[in-house]
Amino acid sequence: MDLVRDVLDKQLVDREGEELGRVDGVILEIRPDGPPRVEAFELGFVVLARRIHPRVESWLERLRARWSVRKTARYRIPWATVQEIRESEIQVDVRAQETPAYDWEIWLRRNVIRHLPGGGE
Amino acid sequence: MKKWMQLALGVLTGVGGFFDIGNLATSAQAGASFRFQLLWSLLLATVLVIFLVEMSGRYAAVSGKALPDAIRERFGFKFWAGPFLILSFIHVLVLGAEIGGICFALHLVTGLPVPLLAPVVGILVWLLLWRTTFSTLENSTSVLGFLTLAFVVAVVVHHPPLREVAAGMVPSLPHHHPAQYWYIAVSIVGAVLAPYLFYFYSSGAVEDRWDKGYVGVNRGISVIGMGFGSLIAVAAVIVAAVVLAPRGIRVDDYHQAALMLTDAFPFWGFVLFAVAMGVACLGAAVEVGLSMAYATAQTFGWTWGEDLEPREDARFCLVYTAAILISTLIILFGVDPFKLTLLTMVISAAALPFVAIPFLLLMNDRKTLREHTNGWISNTVTVLVVLLSVVLAAVSVPLTLIGGS
């Protein structure tokens, strides 16, 4: 398996098949007695920004600290939770609704969508 | 049979995506200034768009993935971030032009000023996306889209000189105003090969749950849907050539274009034009709004789908809501819809390489597409589109400066 080709940027779905985000970054563990091992996937706008330029990252980090509703800038999903790697997506054993990846979605539902006609329960 | 009901997706894409405000403006200009002589550029663009639409549908049917999804996955975020931002900017401009077009159509009927109508139209477009499902949208727009056949009826009424029309289908050098001639030719290609068309169509195929069994149907839909759009655009050029050109009317505003149908339909022509324009722009506005939301949600891996309730995909809905809001403000603040349309066509043409190049690589990905990988004909056409897009990107800005005024 090729990490960049087969894992990075791939769609993530939770155990019920709900979209969770994409693999924005991969955390590797360097081991003294063997090849590096994939420790976790990393998700978040800040992670993406880093791939463009470190300066964009620090700028976005400041913006996030001030405005974001997300609890953490970087959200890690341990490699141990991977259930299946399919051709088009990776399924992980978590619940999307309970992860920081869904913070914005839930905030919008509660504070914006619900107040618009037809957006309620 | 059920599969062929999917023709609605093709006709929706054809009406909204092919024959939209950009085509109306460029067809009217081409016919009024150069009569039938620019028909060839419309035909060339039609052939290219049929191939590209077929490819985006085939990719979606085989892989279950729409284009923005596939591009982020295959090319990575770093490649896609720039084009994504530029294309989002273009989406907002195009949406502004379409909303402006609907406002202008209403202005023709009611006499109210265009900016004043913008909030009403913005809310109408938003409500359509907010409250309806994907299949309601595609079926209603397809049915309403047939009203644009008014242009074809007008062609029949006018008995245009067929030999001259046929001659226009072969490329030729202009007898006058060469800069304007090439400028309109570029705008026509930019108007037909609109980026949102492919994002919308492939996402629509995913919404309609296409699988490998749709590859053949997709081919038919691309030809018929795009062919339908092209037929209307060709008819608009011919009508403009027969009605506007002999009177020396140059189109630099939609008011002149609105005269097109008054000869064929003396009493109803004005209203008919307004209805056809309104319907085409409404279809396109819906499509551009959705395309923007599809592309954003897929880029970041969010939940998306027009069939979900807004509370189930809040971020997806927020994207089109914000896009509609900004586009409406552009028109509300008095930007002229015609000038906005022409500007958008040129920027679209300049951004074409970002749209065209991923096709070449995605469609030759044997691992995903297997036996449905591009053959040599499709690949030749794609290479042609890539080359053409690079040339267009290079010439569009200088041509606008010389030929646009």
> Can you tell me the distance from the alpha carbon of B19 to that of B17, in angstroms, rounded to the nearest whole number?
6
Give the CA diameter of chain B.
Answer: 59
User: What is the number of structural domains in chain B?
Assistant: 1
What pLDDT does B138 receive? Answer: 78
Chain B touched by A85 (CB under 8 Å): no
Among chain B residues, the shortest Cα distance to A19 is held by: B303
**Does a structural domain hold residue B325?**
yes
How many structural domains does chain A have? 1
| Domain of residue A85, CATH code | 2.30.30.240
| Domain assignment present for B355 | no
Summarize pLDDT for B358-403 with one digit per residue, the tens: 988 899 998 889 999 999 999 999 999 999 888 888 888 788 778 6
> Would residue A50 count as lying in a domain?
yes
Contact state of B73 with A10 under an 8 Å Cβ cutoff: yes
**Closest residue in A to B66 (Cα–Cα):** A88
Q: Is residue A121 part of a domain?
A: no
B317 pLDDT higher than 90: yes
- Chain B nearest C-alpha distance from A72 (Å): 17
Q: φ and ψ at B287, to 5 degrees?
A: -65, -45
Residue B384 forms part of a structural domain:
no
The verdict on residue B363 lying in a domain is: no
Alpha-carbon distance of B204 to B274, in angstroms, equals 28
How far does the CA of residue B80 sit from the closest CA of chain A (Å)?
10
Q: Is A119 part of the contact surface with chain B (CB cutoff 8 Å)?
A: yes
Residue pLDDT, tens place only, B60-113: 999 999 999 999 999 999 999 999 999 999 999 999 999 999 999 999 999 999
Torsion, Cα of A95, A99, A101, A105 (10° steps): 80
Whether A79 is covered by a domain: the verdict is: yes
Q: Does B72 fall in a domain?
A: yes
pLDDT of residue B377: 93
For residue B73, give how far its alpha carbon lies from the nearest alpha carbon of chain A (Å): 5
What's the whole-number average pLDDT of chain B? 91
Contact B314, A108 (CB under 8 A): yes
- A82 located within any domain: yes
Whole-complex ipTM: 0.93
Q: How many CB atoms lie under 10 A from the CB of residue B253?
A: 14
Q: Do B300 and A12 touch (CB under 8 A)?
A: no
User: Residue B252, class by beta-carbon neighbours within 10 Å (0-12 exposed, 13-18 middle, 19+ buried)?
Assistant: middle
- Nearest CA to B260 out of B161, B107, B113, B251 is that of B251
Residue whose tokens read 């169509």: B201
Note whether B69 and B60 are within 8 A (CB).
Answer: no
To test the contact with chain B by mutation, choose from A60, A85, A113 the residue with the greatest count of B C-beta atoms within 10 A, namely: A113
CB < 8 Å to B319, chain A: none
> Over 60: is that where the pLDDT of B405 sits?
no
**A69 located within any domain:** yes
Residue of B nearest to A121 (CA): B311
- Domain assignment present for A120: no
Domain that holds residue A48: 3-115
Residue B48, C-beta contacts closer than 8 angstroms, at least 6 positions apart: B189, B192, B193, B381, B384, B385, B388
Residue B324 domain flag: yes
- Chain A hits for B76, CB-CB cut-off 8 Å, are 4, 8-9, 51
Of A8, A24, A119, the CB nearest to B311: A119
Which CATH number is B127's domain given?
1.10.4160.10
Measured between beta carbons, which residues in chain A are less than 8 angstroms from residue B311?
A: 109, 113-114, 119-121
CA nearest neighbour of B202 among B221, B185, B188, B230: B221
Tens digit of each residue's pLDDT (9 = 90 or more) over B133-144: 888 887 788 788
* B374 occurs within a structural domain: no
pLDDT in tens, B2-49: 677 667 766 666 666 678 899 999 999 999 999 999 999 999 999 999
Task: Note whether A35 contacts B: Cβ–Cβ < 8 A.
Answer: no
Distance CA B292, CA A13 (A): 22
A110 contacts in chain B (CB < 8 Å): none
What is the reported pLDDT for B340?
Answer: 93
Residue B163 lies in domain: 3-350
| C-beta atoms of B310 and A113 within 8 A | yes
Residue A38 lies in a domain: yes
Question: Kind of pairing, strands A25-29 and A37-43?
Answer: antiparallel
